[in-house]
Amino acid sequence: MPETIILGSDHAGFDLKEKVKKALDRLGVPHEDVGSQSTEPVDYPDYAHRVAEAVGTGRHTRGIVVCGTGIGVSMAANRHAGVRAAVAYDLETARLSREHNDANVLALGGRSLDHALAERNLEVWLKTPFAGGRHARRVEKIELPKTQPR
């Protein structure tokens, strides 16, 4: 059975999130939606943190976050240890985010990205494996060491 993808959005990303869920259904990929559930205004960090917490702790291996541009949710998600969120604005960035950076959270812009392109980005991101090799060494350097309390 395929991995379960966790996804969340704010109000600006809600419509695209719903399209992403339908695309995941078509692809046979199970998913868990942590909100939001409408276009009523909400704060994007709340939903990005829900997704990132699940990925960072290993409850889910990959997630998707959506806001107006994808930028805000990616910034919030990347505050979590073990999360590598990448904004994919075309097929090349979707592919390279996985192949070179082992992105485990895909960030999309519901207002800034054509929704058909966003669905193609999703498919590329899901199907692209991490290349490893020299990229693994670089990805390991992304995570900051935990500091010791004083």
Catalytic residue among 11, 49, 67, 80: 67
**Strand partners of residue 9:** 66
Residue 60 falls in the annotated catalytic set: no
Task: Give the integer Cα–Cα distance in Å for 74 and 108.
Answer: 9
Whether 67 sits among the annotated catalytic residues: the reply is: yes
Q: Which of 31, 100, 115, 135 is catalytic?
A: 100
Sheet holding 5-9, edge to edge: 31-33, 5-9, 62-67, 105-109, 85-87
Q: Which two tokens stand for residue 10?
A: 């704010």
Beta strands in 31-149 (DSSP E): 31-33, 62-67, 85-87, 105-109
State the catalytic residues. Answer: 67, 100
